[in-house]
Amino acid sequence: MTISVIYFIVYFSIFLVLLYLLVFNRKRYSLKLTNQPRISILIAARNEEHTILRCLSAIDALTYPKEKIEVLIGNDASTDNTLAIVEDYIKDKPNYRCVTITENIGHTRGKANVLAQLAHHATTDYFFYTDADIAVPTNWVQKMLSALTDKVGVVTGITTITGNRFFHKMQALDWLYALGLVQVVSDKGLPVTTMGNNMLLRREAYESVGGFEGIKFSITEDIAIFNEILRKGWDFRNIYSRDVLALSLPAANFVQYINQRKRWMSGAMHLPWYMAIIFILHSAYYPVLIPFFAYTSVGVMGSIFVLKLIFQSIFLHICLRRLNLAVTWLYYVLFELYLVVSSVLLIIYFFMPVKTVWKGRKY
């Protein structure tokens, strides 16, 4: 019982600190652009016939000068109509180019290999990364560039899920909550991670580590390149703002969802110790709370549950408000139930002796 009490004291103390930092330590990065440099947008596409047009249409709607944007799409051995769809869309767009990837370079495989090869075709000093199932906002380029000081090598935007179904909304809240925790820590100047679906790399920083082909292969290639760039002394910026809010399509089914999360959990193994502590404390909440019932009453357990729900809901509500988003209060309760079920299932699946399936490949 003593250990459980100590755990809850530590858990809620840290949660209060995170809430305080969320409210009072928000960093805004908005430099005035003195020029508009040419930029490259790099997209890896493998069997994306149902999503690629949405992605390219959003890029075409960017308010940044079109003559200063080059778009490079890497066709990663697609077996559907992705290549034909892309070539038809870009036939009258000279600043778009589709590159078919047929071999690996360096230590790379899969998406990392595609992005490594696209970088060799890029002709600018600023690499913007997004995914084929992502729609970026119209002011994406300007706002990402506005956080790029001379010492910054990596800028990360914010991404969430779009969709009207209940499961889609829970995925969206999950993304925003987790990325809100990342943002709080990042605003203290502590590096955490980046996201390859909404990322800007300075070419000089990218090349300082030898690019994707120069680093150890990882199925979470974005985290790997982020860590290597920071080891070279570059700084980072994470932006939690509507201006850089990209919208991802949801996992189409539960199998796709658990494979996606298993890949992310593999990347989480490389998070810094302070984020590991936060995530471990969150993951241990119910394994500690349930046995605690043997030493206390239903009322005490209920009070502890409600306190977590209140803290968590306030945190999430602030995150949503900063993005001009909102949900009914019932969703905050349902989100807690979603976390319980999904966390248990994902932990079990993560430790099962099965390979991670990603874009039809096994790792």
- Confidence (pLDDT) at 229: 97
> Rounded distance, CA 142 to CA 128, Å?
11
| Pair 237, 152: CB distance under 8 Å | yes
What's the number of CA atoms in the CB half-sphere (13 Å) around residue 351?
5
Q: Is 235 helix (H, G, I), strand (E, B) or coil?
A: strand
Q: Report the C-alpha gap between 258 and 255 in whole angstroms.
A: 5
pLDDT for res 218: 81
2 burial (CB, 10 Å; 0-12 / 13-18 / 19+) is: exposed
CA distance 332 to 5: 25
Q: Print burial letters for 126-147: b (CB count within 10 Å at least 16), e (below 16).
A: bbbbbbbbbbbbebbbbbbbbb
Q: Is the distance from CB of 145 to CB of 243 less than 8 angstroms?
A: no
Residue 297: the pLDDT is 74
Euclidean distance between CA atoms 300 and 291, whole angstroms: 13
Structure tokens at 293: 């019932």
- The H or E element spanning position 98 is strand 96-100
CA distances in angstroms from 186 to 81, 154, 175, 240, listed in the order given: 40, 12, 16, 10
Which pTM was predicted? 0.91
Q: What is the pLDDT of residue 262?
A: 73
Element holding 348 (H helix, E strand): helix 329-350
CB 342 within 8 A of CB 251: no
Position 356 scores a pLDDT of 66
Indicate the residue type of 71: V
Element (H, E) at 14: helix 2-24
Report how far residue 184's alpha carbon sits from residue 23's, in angstroms, rounded to the nearest whole number.
9
Inter-residue contact 193 to 264 (CB < 8 Å): no
In the chain, the amino acid numbered 11 is Y
Question: In the structure encoding, which two tokens stand for residue 127, read together?
Answer: 């690499």
Site of tokens 């071999």: 103
Residue 235 contacts residue 153 (beta carbons within 8 Å) = yes
pLDDT at 256: 79
C-alpha atoms less than 13 angstroms from C-alpha of 49 in its C-beta half-sphere:
10
CB 291 within 8 A of CB 4: yes
In sign, the C-alpha dihedral spanning 113, 118, 119, 125 is negative
Number of alpha carbons in the 13 Å side-chain half-sphere of residue 274: 13
pLDDT, position 55: 97
Query: Rounded distance, CA 333 to CA 23, Å?
Result: 22
* pLDDT by 10s per residue, the chain, length 363: 677 888 889 999 999 999 999 999 988 776 677 789 999 999 999 999 999 999 999 999 999 999 999 999 999 989 999 999 999 999 999 999 999 998 888 878 889 999 999 999 999 999 999 999 999 999 999 999 999 988 999 999 999 999 889 999 999 999 999 999 999 999 999 999 999 999 999 999 999 999 999 998 887 889 999 999 999 999 999 999 999 999 999 887 787 787 777 776 666 667 788 887 887 787 778 777 777 666 777 787 788 889 999 999 999 999 999 999 999 999 999 999 988 888 777 777 667 777 766 666 665
> Could you say which DSSP state residue 66 is in?
G
Give 318's contacts (C-beta < 8 A, 6+ positions apart).
22, 23, 180
User: What local confidence, expressed as pLDDT, does residue 293 receive?
Assistant: 66
pLDDT of residue 267: 63
Place of tokens 């002394």: 233
Q: Which pLDDT value is given to residue 357?
A: 62
Q: What's the pLDDT at 303? A: 87
Check: CB of residue 129 under 8 Å from CB of residue 212: no
